[in-house]
Amino acid sequence: MPVALTATITAIVRPLAWLARQGTRAVAALVFIGIAIPPLGEALRPFVTEAVFLLLCISFMRVDLSALRLYLRRPAIVVAATGWTLLAVPAMTGGFWLATGLRTASPDLFLGLMLQAVASPMMASPSLAALMGLDATLVLITLVTGTALVPLTAPLFAYLFFGSALTLSPVALGAKLFLILAGALAVAAIIRLLFGLAAIERHKAPIDGLNILILLVFVCAVMGPVAPSFWHEPLLALGLTLLAFAVFFALLAGTMLVFRRFGMERALALALMVSQRNMGLMVAATDGVLPGLTWLYFALSQFPIYLAPQLLKPIVGRLTKPR
């Protein structure tokens, strides 16, 4: 390999590996970067769909097929977790908010909460679970099954709960989700075929760093409205932030209770995954055509998603420590 090319590759790989070593600190910093530099968010907003697509490619590219086969031989926990995150969570969420009258009182906020509920887990969940010392393999396998089925479940709940709030029809939503996921799976398969899983594993650190950079695109794009909202409508912004944290920790605690019989570490891993909903996928599927209040809730919901791994890491360490 030419010396100049080697030097160029090294100059790219080293910063990415360094970024990956920052772990949950780097992930938490994304939120504050997005708030501090609103013009960056405006510039990156047109690329949200592409960023989500690349995150999907990276996650599919890193699936451990041997671990997948192992869990498929004993699929009870994967089936239960998939059913919980794709069926139980949106059904209970929809029922709760309908009972409160939110769909009538604030259709745009109801749309945001329901898009959050029907989404599959976030593509970065396995990486965040690994950074926290949790079972990333279980998270990844459940993520794959949940992501594969969301084109079927999301339209169902869209039909039941959204009404006219969503401009995209349930069938179109399912078709768009399927195309995004199928395309990402195809790209990931080609990359694995060309380079092999061993090479991908050897370059885990720079790939993790690249993952964080791609997350920066999404976070900055959705965090754009946050600073102006806190300035012009502080009570609304604060209320939505508290709501986002409440939803996050309700999903976290509820999932831990449901899956505690499988062991605390597995329950924690699944709880983290379920509480981190892939709202970026729903934004991509709707082409970002969402009401302003829905966008603002999506933006503020990034706070618990990206800050929780750093905040929970000491607690996770104590709970999973051998007794």
Digit-by-digit pLDDT tens for the chain (323 residues) are: 565 555 566 667 777 778 777 766 777 777 778 777 777 777 887 787 788 788 778 877 877 677 667 777 778 888 999 999 999 999 999 999 999 999 889 988 998 899 899 888 887 777 677 667 777 778 878 887 887 788 888 878 877 887 655 555 666 766 777 887 788 889 988 998 888 888 888 888 888 888 888 888 877 877 766 777 777 888 888 999 999 999 999 999 999 999 988 888 888 889 988 998 887 777 776 665 677 788 888 888 888 887 877 777 766 666 655 54
Residue 138 lies in a domain: yes
Contact 143, 123 (CB under 8 A): yes
Q: Mark residue 133 as left, alpha or beta (left: phi above 0; alpha: psi -120 to 50; beta: remaining).
A: left
Q: How much is the pLDDT for 229?
A: 76
Residues 6+ apart with CB under 8 A from 98: 161
Residue range(s) defining the domain that contains residue 56: 48-212+241-288
CA-based nearest residue to 166, from 175, 177, 155: 155
Q: State residue 98's pLDDT score.
A: 92
Q: Are 206 and 20 in contact (CB under 8 A)?
A: yes
User: DSSP for 147-180?
Assistant: HHHHHHHHHHHIIIIITTS-SS-HHHHHHHHHHH
Token output for 273: 């995954």
2 inside domain: no
pLDDT of residue 317: 65
Q: Is 56 among the domain residues?
A: yes
Assess if residue 9 is contained within a domain: no
In a domain, 222, yes or no: no
Residue type at position 37: I
Predicted pLDDT of residue 11: 65
Please give the structure tokens belonging to residue 61: 């590219």
Rounded to two decimals, the pTM is 0.75
Closest CA to 150 of 237, 236, 87, 60: 87
On whether residue 37 sits in a domain, the answer given is no
Amino acid in position 52: V
Question: How many domains in the chain?
Answer: 1
Q: Tell me whether residue 318 is in a domain.
A: no
Structure tokens belonging to residue 215: 């997350």
For residue 100, give both structure tokens. 């409160």
CB-based contact 206:13 (threshold 8 Å): yes
CA atoms within 13 A on the CB side of 266: 15
Q: What is the CATH number of the domain that holds 258?
A: 1.20.1530.20
Question: What pLDDT is recorded for position 249?
Answer: 92
Listed residue (212, 311, 298, 297) closest to 252, CA to CA: 311
Asked, for residue 295, whether it belongs to a domain, the answer is: no
Give Cα 86 distance to the centre of its chain: 14
Chain position carrying tokens 């671990």 = 67
